[in-house]
Every structure is written in C-alpha cells, then in structure tokens.
Structure 1
C-alpha cells in the first residue's frame, strides 16, 4: 500500500490487482497500467478509483468478473423471462427452482438479474443456512440488517434511525410498525416507541403481517425480483411467511424465485401463479464448453478433459472446481491456445471426488488453512469479529490470511473488518474444510466458539440461542447445551414457531438422557416433556405426544410430585380426548382434578375440569359437560392470561366456546349466545387473534343451529379470515366445516362442498379422530343439499360407525339423523322403513343426550314419513311436539326441503 501511494494523485485512491479482483464492478476504475515499484521484482498493475458504479445489485457487482458463463440453460432462462413479463404486468409469479447442490440454481437466478438489470425494479435476496434452520425468520432478519447497513459500534438510536429509513421505503406509517421490526431485530427502543404490550403470539402474527405489508408497499412503487435461496434450510416461520407471500403476490408486480434441493417438498406446487423448474446435469459437450470458459478458451489435453467429464457427472460446480484444481496444480504448461502436459498425467493430479478437489485447494493454502477450518466450524457464514476473538495471531496476519482465502475463491466477503462477514463460496467448500479437522480438535473449536459467543456476543445469545446450543452440543458440553436448547425452544414456542420449538426441546431431552438420573435432572425431563407436548399439540402430532408422555410414567412414579402428576394427568386426558378414547380420558381427568385439589394448584384444577368436560361432551353427556365447564369458569371467568395454562388460547375464551357449543346442543341458545359474545369480548379486549377466532366460531355455531344462517355466515367468515391470516390450522378445520354447511343452506352448495371436503381432508392429515364423525356428518349434510344422496348416505354410515366405536352418542345421533334424511330424500317407498328406523334411533339417542333441537328435527322428519304413509294422526302428534320445541327454544324449524 505504501508503494502504491506514490502513484496516487492528491485526494485519489489507487488499488492493486488483488483489491481490483475483490472490488468487481462495485466502483468505476481507471486502468493506470503497470509500474515498476521499489522492492517488488515484477511490474505492478494499478487502478484509480473514480467513484461508485451504477450496478443494480451488490451481489452481481462483486461477482461480475468471477461468475462462470451460464451453460445450457437457455430454455430455463426464457421461461423465467416469460414469467417476469407477466409479473411486471401485475400478475405476480412464483417460480420454484429445484436441483442438486452445485447444479446452478443461484447462477440461473443471477443470470435473470443480469438480463433485466436495465429495467427499473427492486431486487430482494434472502439466503437460508443449515445453521439457522431453527432460527425463526433468520433470512428476513439478515436481509433487513444488510439493507439498513448496521455496524457493530452503533447505538440503538442510530440503528433505529437506519431501520426507520429502510421502512419508509415501503411503509406508510413507519412509527406504527417500527416497534415490531425493532423487536424482530433485537434492537432496544426504550421510550422511543410505545411498549408493544402484546402476547408472543400476537407479536409474531403482527410481525408477519408487517413484513408482508412492507413487501407490498415496495411492490406498489416498482416491480420486485425476489430470490429466496436454499429453501430446504428455511426455518418453519420463514416457510409460513412464504406461504402468505405466495398468496399476496398474485395481484402485485412481483417475480419470486425459490431455490431448493430435491429433498425439499414445496407446498406451493400446482397453484395458478406458481411454475417449476428442475435443473438437470450438463451433457458432455456442455461440460467441455464450461471448461473452455474456465480456461479462457485454451484447450486441455484430451486425457485431462476425459477425466474431468467422467468425474464431474455434469455438475457445473464440480466442473468449475475440478478444472480450477487442474490449472492450479502446475502439471500443465500454458501455450498460446492450448495447455499441454509436461509428462504423463499423474494418478493423483485430478482428485477422485470433489471433497478431495476442494481439500487439495485448501492444502495449497496451508498457512491459512487453520482460518478456513475455524470459519467452517462456525458455519457457512462467519464474522470477522468472531474469528478475531478466537484466533491467536495478530490482526494483520488474520486479515492477510482471510484475504488469501478470498483471492483463492473459497470465501466471499461482505463489508470491511471489523464489520466484515465472510461466506464460503459453496456449502461443499465449507464441508470439506470442516471434515479436514480432527474430531478432538472440532470439540475444542466448538467449545471455544460457544464461550466466545457467551462472553462477547450477547446479541447473538439473546436472539439466536440455538446457535450457542449447537456449538456446546458439538463440543460435548452437555449441561450448557441443554440450557441453550431449552432457551431456544421457549423462544420459538413464544413466537408460535412450533416446529422449531419441537426440534429444540427434543435436542434438550436427548442430551438430558446422557446425564445422571438425579432428582433435579428427572424434574427437568418432566418439564421439558410438558413443553414438548405443548409445541406438538398445534401440529396435530398425537402419536409423538403419546410417546413423550408415556416416557414420564416411571419418572413421575419415582418423583412422587403431585403438581407435576396433576399436570401430566390433564395432558393425558386431553390426548385421549383427541384420539377418541373418552373413557380413558375421563380416568386421567378425574385423577388430575383430585391431585390438583390435593396440591392446591388452581390453574391445573381449572384445566383438568375443562379437559373432563371435553370428554363428556364427546360422549354426548352435554349436561355434565356444562356443569364441569361452569365450574371451570370459577377459575378463569374473565382471565386474560394464558401462559401458565400452557395454552396458546385465553382459557376463559376456550372454556366459554365449549360451553356455548354444549348449551346449543341442549337448546339453550340465549345462554349459549351470552357466553359466545363474552368470549369474543374478552378476546377483543386482549387483542388475542386465536381467541377472537374462537369467539366468532362460537357465535357462528349458535346462530347456525338456531337457524339464523345469514348471521352465522357473517360470523364464521370473520373467523375464517383470522384463521387464514394467522395460520390457525386446527381451528380452521372446524370453521370451514361449519361454513360449508351454512353456504349450502343459502344455496351455495358447490362452495359448501368444497369447504366441507377440505375440512375432512385436513382433519385426516392432523389425525383429529375426535372430530372425524362430525366432519363427515357435515360433509354428508352438504352432499344431501346438493342432491348427492348416495354420497350423503355413505358418509352418514361411516360417521355412525366411528361414533359408535368411540361411544360418541351425540355424534351418532346426528349421523343416524343424516342417514334417515338421506333415505327419505331418495323418495322410494322401500326406503321409508329404513328411514323411520334410523330416525327413531336418532331420536332415542338425542333424547338420552338431552339434545332437544336434534330431537325436534327428528320429529319433523318423522312427520314427513307418517304423512307419506297417510298416517295423519301420528304425523300431527310428532309435528306438534316439534313445533312446541321450536317455539320454546326460539329456533327456526327444520326446512323439509333441506337439512342441517
């Protein structure tokens, strides 16, 4: 640098070849030619920096000189350009790009960006990482941090200023959403904004909505090219946000490219605005063309080319890396237009595998290989500051070593030390460096990394505890690893990232089994299992819940802990309810009530009473369920908290929802509506989205069964809107099932069928056995309205059989009623007897369950049978009974030309 200074004019910057390669096209450079420099034997090439270039993207600018030309992808690029033209017209497009590692997915995306660089648009790039698969929204956080240009020495206020500047590009009300983004980026905001005062679930949902709104705001200004790379490593919350994005872009000028490996199964295939590309391997001819690009057109010896073709299997990355390896080994002599071998091709001149190829390149960088190995232990991406905290060499030597890795093309750099962040060029490069480290040394490295993070990088520890957990785990340090996996699980669960939470809790449990079975460790195992159960429940993973709970039986027996045993019994009660084993559920529920009373835990007592009520409701013992639910209200009548109940729903809302449903079954519509409205009032007061959904569901349920269908549709649609916006999957099934029937009763049978069928399908996927009969019944009811009589009959019989097995008398009564109505609708005399038989059974069951509305419906249907037979006396008798019930309960009669 001191020698180059003599070439620079005052106020100018001059760089040498090594820096020129790193700059790419980020700046405008003027070639100053080669100069003799004191102390250096060969002439030194120099460039003067004239200013910042006009490149659209930093990525393309940095790699403009280093990207190998795109080979044999013309058709794929044309496909992307066609989609881009559609997107720019406001018909948002998604393209799924699949292929094995190194096949050229990112290169194809870069080629598209190159092709449209001259067109006004915004480019957004999101990169997933195998070390952040459990870090919620990490790709989006990283993109925001890059866009804001944060540096380590900034204050929180400075970061907030930068954040607001970024948000102003897409948000109309920056101050309203800035606290959400600040929390997402772990930036303390003190009194600058009002406190969020949100539950974790609310904060998560609002953050997702704010990210979507910011994205839409940018798209309203000019078209967007979005690249979401390596989606196979995406965390569950990022994938959920992609789900919402796919729907949102339909009416926006957006082209979104999602790249991933073949093992990833994208859920968006088949949607109208989604296209797919699967990248295959290169042909032998294309491999030769690619080699020619790497060698600048010089021809390789035939035997060398043959080995490259045979060993690379048409993978562009393999071709590029292996060719570079051959050129760097020194076995070839460069002539004007060809390379020639100095002698016979040595057996080891071309490595047998890509791993060997990459390691051969690392071996030639032996003095700095240790830095590459340390970076590989940190991950695919590593910061200068963390490496600096770990290495023993001086800072000048460290910078020089990292520069060598850059010049060799093994890593890329973003920013300048000490803010610089380095990324391995390919995951396989990182893997090769990592595998070259002895296992004992790996343990040491991971331990050093974990301790350094704890001592010097509090922000990472707070926002990504799973990273610290990973390094402690790989170091073999079990106790701190468990602590951090548990922290990561709690954080993920609080953000409703349940799949991530499950993985974290399971990692903690696996490690805990390696420790001695002390009382403290056994108690920790129980508590973590409870947390694992809570994360599994919204995912519908009933089998895994049972396995985890079963493991607690011997542990709880040893502990003799009544409070934990009471909680365990409440959870077991809920599990057996979900899988339709109500008698078993009641045993556990009663045990939970007894133990909770003995240890004085009112929270678990209220929870156990509610769980018991669910099972009695499923058995058709509605009055007993109502009594238990009313007792439960003593513990949470107006309570807004839900954390201690291990629920993502406000308990008082959940309790009132079930109470409203049970009261409706018995015909007490006024009391049912009172509890439904109170549930919604509590939920809206707490601004708790899932609880609001339950409020609308219960109101819709009351109105639907009372016969006020238009009002029911309005309420259920409000609930469905919340469900779709916030991805409440379990409750969505019940909503669309009810809404399907309501639509059909208003003459929209086709839409009703679609929703009811979807509910059955989704319920099967989530193994909601307790809900299965009612879901089948509702699909049968819609089928009957649509005059699909045989289908309705089949569904009714299936529902009746399942309900009978599980002693679900209320569901069986509804199923028998459906069967009887289907036979009656067939209008064949021979079916009247079977119809009467089924309706008599339904009436008997409904009476036993004290389900007065259903009993009245049965009498109305029987009236039709008796009238057809000419038995007017009996017809009038049952009609009078039904009419009196309708009048007393204040409900609409059953229309004889439709069904429920």
Structure 2
C-alpha cells in the first residue's frame, strides 16, 4: 500500500450539516452552556475526521483541546482516556492554583498544597490501584478509585482559562470507571464553558446477551435525562462518493460505471473508498492518465481493507455458536433473502434456536429484518463478503449444497428461484442439477433481463465442461452457444457474440448440424452488420440461403431482416421494404410475435426516413404491441424510443418527451441500465428546448458509457445531437461536427 503520509488529504465531503451543528454547539458552550456530544458511526465513517474539521471552525478558535482515546484490551488501565487527557494539561495549568484531584506528589511538594509546574506528575505513571488517605474515601463514586467532585472542580478550573473541549475517541472500548466518570461530568458541566465530545461505534455495543456492554445502560440513562446531543454520521451518497473519488484521483469527473462499482463495493464508507482507490492505484489496476482507464476492471481485484475484516471478525467473537452457524449459511445466500424456514430446513437447529440466533444477529447489526417479507438480509454487503471469505472451500461447497437442496424442495416450480437454485448447485459442484436450473433460469429471463440470462448461460457452459462429453451434452452445448451469442447481440457485446457464434459454427460443422450452422452464420452476419461492415454482413447472409439444405423459417426471417436493415441504412428503401416483407412472411409461418414486432419497427424506420411520419408511428405502435404481448419488453422500448424520435421531427416536444421517458422507465424496470437511444434522443429534445446544460449532462453520461463499445452509430448520433445543441447555443463548429460524424462512421446521418 502507499504510505498514508504520501496520500492526498481530501476535502471533508458530505458533512456540512454536522459541522454547522457543531458550530452552533460551540457558540453555546463558549457562552457557558456546557454539553456532551456523542457521535455515533460505523468504522471508517469519519468520526475522528469530523473532530479534526471542527478544530478549523471559527467558533473553535478560543477553545483549548485535550484528547484521550480508549483501547481494545481486556485489562486496559482504568481511566485511560482521562489519563491521556490530563497528560496534556500542563500548558493550560501554568499559573493556575487548583488542588489536584489525584493525591500524588513529588518528593518536594507538601500534602494539600496547590499544584505548581514543578509538582507535575505524568498521569500515565499513575498505577491502576491508587492508595488514598482513609479520610478521603467517604463519598467517593467508585470505591478506591477517584473522587469525582475533585475531578469536576479540577476541570472547571481548567475552563477558567478559556472554553475547554475534551475529546474521547472510541468510547465503545472505554473501561467502566471512565464511563461512570463521563456520566458524572455530563451532569456537572451544563453551567460551564466545557464541551465533551465522544465517538463510538454502535455495532460494537453488542456483546453476548448475558454480558451487556458497559456503555449500553449509561447511554440509556444519559438519553433519558437529556444530558447529551446525539449525532450519527451516515454513509456518503452515491454523488458524494463520486466527489471523493474525483478528489483522490485528481480528475474533474469520474466515469459513472467506475463510480457505481466503487459505491457498490464500499457502500459510501469514506475510509473504505480511500483504501480501495489507493489499493487500485498502488497495484497499477487503474491509471487515470490513460484513456479508458476504468474499463474492464474485475470486481474481484477490489480487495477489502484488512482493518475492516478485523473489525467484523472481532465482533463475531461475541456471537453464540447457533448465530455463527446461521451467519455462515446466510453468507452463501447471494441473491436469496434468508427466511426462518430456509434456515430451519438447512441447519439442525430447533425453532427456538433459529429465532434466538436471528434476533441476536439483528441486535448485533449483522443482519437486518425486512418486515413485509418476513426475511433477513445483511446489514452491509461487506459483512457478507468477510464472513464468506473466512469459509474454507469445503465448507462453502457444503453450505451451497445445503442451500440448493432446501431451495429446490421449496421453490423448484417458482421461476424467480431457478437462478438461485442453479447457482447454489453450481457452486456446490453438482453440475448436472446446476445445468437444469440455470438453463431454465436463462430462458425465463432472456427477454426481460438479457444480462442476467447471459450470466446464467456462461455458468452453463462451464458446467458442460465439467461433465462427461456425451453426444447429448455436445448437442446441448451447441444450442447454448447459439443462445449465448443471441444474448450478447441483444446487449451489444459484439465481440463476445462473434466469439460464441464462431464456436457454435465449428461445433455444428463437427456434429454435422447444418441448421444450427446456418443460425451461427446469421449471428456472424448480425455482428458484421452492427459493426457497419455491410458488404461482409451481406455475404454472411447470402451464405445462409446458398447452403441451407431445407427452409428454416426462423433462420430465413432473421437473415432477410438483417439484409433489409442494411439496405435501409444505405437509403435503398424499396429494396429494404421488399426484404422486410419476405422476412415477415417467414415470421408469420411460425407466428413468431417477437420477430414480427421487430419487423414492424424496422418497417416504421423506413417510412420514418421516407418522411411518412404518421405511417412510421403506426408501425412503431404495432411493433411495440406485438413485442410487449410476447414479453420482449426491452425490444418494445425501442418502439417507444423511435416514436419519441418521430415526434421530435414533428416538433411535438411534449409527446416526444412522453415516449422517451416511457422507453427509459420501461428499460430500467427490466433491469437495463444502458438504454442508449432514448438517452441520445433526449439530447436532441433538450437542444431543441434550448436546455443546453441538460443536453450536455446527458451527452457526457452517454458518451462515457459508450466508450469502449463498438456502437459507432450511437456514438456518432449522440455527437451529432450535441453538436446541434452547441450550434443553437451559438458555439458553431461545423468543421468539427463533420469530423465527428465521419469519425464515427455515421454516413447516413451525414447525408441528412
């Protein structure tokens, strides 16, 4: 790791409200209204940094600050934080006549005399057990330890020299006598210019049920008596996290995909964000000085700070054996909410043991209850990751198998669970069962969540590699390769689509499966078409018709539709309509509503570019209706987006916005985070409304997400519409605009 002293100190982000509150409190304390502030927050949230920032407030300028900390040791010195605090009082004590609260003298000092500088004895040298004269034991708050009245008098005298701030860090580790002293002082400082600030971690206040944490009851009493001001530091928002990352990397704006990745990994914890970013820099995984530095980062390379792991594992020390068993089982449940019934079926525990374990895990803030669903999830995904990482491989496999069989018994007929069941069998290395459920899950999600379906099929291919290579497995592998290529096409991953299509082509040649071989050829043609390599794509489609031994309506429909698309893009509208018509005939033979719907959208495109806008809208509507009825909702969104584009041409901006927002919302409902075309058309919408800042914002977002992808049409069109926005704003750059269009291969738009 990069040494901490070499790291850039960032601005304190996302804490304006807390600093404002502290400023108001300091003003009141300076006026003689002392108070206790307890700052709660998880490890790494920035509690200590808040105090550092408080020291720079104008309201703090006249305060004297004394600090102490608590340490995580079973037999730590009593009053350790106060010993550290009073080791620092020497500068404030000069010329103050006040009787020491401790009956400790140097050899030359007289009993009962006032403290002088030469009588100073470092508090760290005070033994844990202090011997007091017999007459002073009466009225002591903690027998044999300290006279709390003398301590408060001592602090009051210190505050006579100016407002005083006592800061105690990590109060959750304080010894019980220190906590009692803090309670006592909280009652006494209300009429003095004294502020006591303490930080603590709520998650560390849980011990075993029969051993309550020493801070738990005092907190309740202080709260009941309204003797402190509570302050809780929350995690940073997504936007605040992006701002912190930008500061660390010294870049103006970070890519949204990178921000999402880091936020998902850290949940907005500032310390975790810094540790993760510096770790990536130190290991040369990222370098913001090179283009596309954020692309293709494997989430597995983002390791968690050792400090965080230690904190979580230490908290587990207090859990009962039943709770640990439940926690370990829960850690393998990625994508599946934990319920009482699932735990009971998977573990050999009684009903009462399961209930008590769940209650304990919720109290200890390992799990959180989701009341409406009567289920449980991890309080923080990082906890799940740490617990899972501590399982050895044999235990992981065992627990995944346990979970798989329980879920299969309960939910084998529920499509929403097929993916989870398949993943558990896959990780439990029961590949035959994993194959069964993962294929079913992929089929179920292929229309509504193609990325999820693709993830399932990727695991299916690995399962097949681990099974005996029988003829049936090879045949099944061939079908999966074609479907995987189809899904890659659907989400614009063209390199992978081509890779899987070529594998399918080779295997189909070996197995002499001509029909599947032609499907692979169609997919190769689709990739070439999407890349704008139209002549090569037409050659691939022609191969299908030349080598197909018998008509396959589905394959022919796809090939004719691809050819029609190319002729449409070339402006050859009559030929395009002829080919779309042939494709429609084959699609109707099978009543393939999805293909029929896609063809209606393509025919609508032809009429759109011929200027017959009303007919274009009619075909877009019909196409969207067919696609929605077939469950192909993502493709239906393309119809809404296209309608929005037509309304833009007609100057009906409100209707255009309605259609585009419908497309965006439906895309997001289906789990797609990258609906390029409606976003691109929104650039044009805002440009036409002279909303230039919003047009620029959307352009930056789209341009960033399209980096590294091969969708030259989308890239070029977004640049074209942004050029329109710039031109309307008065910044005319026609030469640059032409270059942009040319560079992105958008010759069709250049002709407009």
TM-score by length of 2: 0.52
User: Secondary structure of 1:598's match?
Assistant: coil
Deviation of residue 768 (structure 1)? 1.8
Residue in 2 that maps onto 1:727: 667
Asked if 1:794 corresponds to 2:736, the answer is yes
**In 1, distance between residues paired with 2:647 and 2:389?**
64
Asked if 1:769 corresponds to 2:712, the answer is yes
Q: Residues 339-395 of structure 1: CA distance to partner in whole angstroms, max 9, x if unpaired?
A: xxxxxxxxxxx9993365245435xx4577555544545569632222322344555
**In 2, distance between residues paired with 1:530 and 1:678?**
30
Deviation of residue 427 (structure 1)? 5.6
Asked if 1:361 corresponds to 2:302, the answer is no
Contact 1:368 1:404 in 2 (8 A): yes
1:747-786 equivalences under 5 Å are: 761=703, 764-765=706-707, 767-773=710-716, 776=719
Deviation of residue 296 (structure 1)? 8.3
1:278-317 equivalences under 5 Å are: 285-292=167-174, 297=179, 316=201
Residue in 1 that maps onto 2:604: 657
Residue in 2 that maps onto 1:561: 513
User: Secondary structure of 2:561's match?
Assistant: helix
Residue in 1 that maps onto 2:146: none
User: Secondary structure of 1:353's match?
Assistant: helix
Label 1:545 to 1:451 Cα distance change in 2 as closer, same or farther (>3 A): same
Asked if 1:548 corresponds to 2:500, the answer is yes
**In 2, distance between residues paired with 1:642 and 1:294?**
73
Asked if 1:452 corresponds to 2:398, the answer is no
Gapped runs of 5+ residues in structure 1?
1-71, 82-98, 107-282, 301-313, 331-349, 815-899
Asked if 1:477 corresponds to 2:430, the answer is yes
**In 2, distance between residues paired with 1:351 and 1:636?**
57
Gapped runs of 5+ residues in structure 2?
1-12, 23-39, 48-164, 183-198, 215-306, 669-674
Label 1:294 to 1:521 Cα distance change in 2 as closer, same or farther (>3 A): farther
Label 1:298 to 1:591 Cα distance change in 2 as closer, same or farther (>3 A): farther
Residue in 2 that maps onto 1:838: none
Q: Residues 25-68 of structure 1: CA distance to partner in whole angstroms, max 9, x if unpaired?
A: xxxxxxxxxxxxxxxxxxxxxxxxxxxxxxxxxxxxxxxxxxxx
Residue in 2 that maps onto 1:589: 541
1:668-687 equivalences under 5 Å are: 669=611, 674=615, 676-681=617-622, 683-684=624-625
Instruction: Identify the match of residue 344 of structure 2 among 380, 384, 388.
Output: 388
Deviation of residue 792 (structure 1)? 1.3
**In 2, distance between residues paired with 1:299 and 1:522?**
75
**In 1, distance between residues paired with 2:341 and 2:647?**
62
Label 1:467 to 1:599 Cα distance change in 2 as closer, same or farther (>3 A): same
Contact 1:291 1:320 in 2 (8 A): no
1:291-440 equivalences under 5 Å are: 291-292=173-174, 297=179, 316=201, 320=205, 353-354=310-311, 356-358=313-315, 360-362=317-319, 365-366=320-321, 370=325, 372-378=327-333, 382-392=338-348, 395=351, 421=375, 438-440=392-394
Contact 2:42 2:203 in 1 (8 A): no
Q: Residues 94-133 of structure 1: CA distance to partner in whole angstroms, max 9, x if unpaired?
A: xxxxx99754699xxxxxxxxxxxxxxxxxxxxxxxxxxx
1:26-45 equivalences under 5 Å are: none
Q: Residues 664-703 of structure 1: CA distance to partner in whole angstroms, max 9, x if unpaired?
A: 1xxxx55x75465344345457766767766676678779
Contact 1:294 1:320 in 2 (8 A): no
Label 1:737 to 1:383 Cα distance change in 2 as closer, same or farther (>3 A): closer
Residue in 1 that maps onto 2:473: 521
**In 1, distance between residues paired with 2:353 and 2:628?**
56
**In 2, distance between residues paired with 1:786 and 1:802?**
23
**In 1, distance between residues paired with 2:514 and 2:569?**
28
**In 2, distance between residues paired with 1:558 and 1:453?**
39
Label 1:544 to 1:566 Cα distance change in 2 as closer, same or farther (>3 A): same
Contact 2:442 2:457 in 1 (8 A): yes
Deviation of residue 605 (structure 1)? 0.8
Label 1:598 to 1:638 Cα distance change in 2 as closer, same or farther (>3 A): closer
Residue in 2 that maps onto 1:602: 553
**In 1, distance between residues paired with 2:583 and 2:676?**
23
**In 1, distance between residues paired with 2:562 and 2:515?**
17
Which range moves more in the overlay, 758-767 or 615-624?
758-767
**In 1, distance between residues paired with 2:315 and 2:662?**
51
User: Secondary structure of 2:429's match?
Assistant: coil
Deviation of residue 315 (structure 1)? 8.9
Deviation of residue 639 (structure 1)? 9.4
Deviation of residue 497 (structure 1)? 2.7
Contact 2:203 2:365 in 1 (8 A): no
Contact 2:366 2:383 in 1 (8 A): yes
Deviation of residue 518 (structure 1)? 3.3
User: Secondary structure of 2:169's match?
Assistant: helix
Residue in 1 that maps onto 2:565: 614
Residue in 1 that maps onto 2:151: none
Label 1:654 to 1:562 Cα distance change in 2 as closer, same or farther (>3 A): farther
Q: Residues 705-746 of structure 1: CA distance to partner in whole angstroms, max 9, x if unpaired?
A: xxxx545657644532432332382331564476578x38xx
Contact 1:488 1:504 in 2 (8 A): yes
Contact 1:486 1:504 in 2 (8 A): yes
Contact 1:446 1:472 in 2 (8 A): yes
Label 1:76 to 1:737 Cα distance change in 2 as closer, same or farther (>3 A): closer
**In 2, distance between residues paired with 1:711 and 1:421?**
51
Deviation of residue 608 (structure 1)? 0.8
Contact 1:465 1:487 in 2 (8 A): yes
1:191-206 equivalences under 5 Å are: none
Contact 1:740 1:755 in 2 (8 A): no
Label 1:487 to 1:754 Cα distance change in 2 as closer, same or farther (>3 A): same
**In 1, distance between residues paired with 2:44 and 2:615?**
62
TM-score by length of 1: 0.45
Label 1:101 to 1:457 Cα distance change in 2 as closer, same or farther (>3 A): farther
User: Secondary structure of 1:540's match?
Assistant: coil
Label 1:641 to 1:76 Cα distance change in 2 as closer, same or farther (>3 A): farther
**In 1, distance between residues paired with 2:642 and 2:406?**
52
Q: Residues 772-800 of structure 1: CA distance to partner in whole angstroms, max 9, x if unpaired?
A: 555555555666666644x1122113424
Q: Residues 603-640 of structure 1: CA distance to partner in whole angstroms, max 9, x if unpaired?
A: 22111111112223334555543432232233347998
Q: Residues 126-170 of structure 1: CA distance to partner in whole angstroms, max 9, x if unpaired?
A: xxxxxxxxxxxxxxxxxxxxxxxxxxxxxxxxxxxxxxxxxxxxx
Asked if 1:502 corresponds to 2:463, the answer is no
Residue in 2 that maps onto 1:171: none
Residue in 1 that maps onto 2:524: 572
Label 1:581 to 1:74 Cα distance change in 2 as closer, same or farther (>3 A): closer
User: Secondary structure of 2:544's match?
Assistant: helix
State the superposition RMSD in angstroms.
5.2
Contact 1:450 1:468 in 2 (8 A): yes
Contact 1:737 1:778 in 2 (8 A): yes
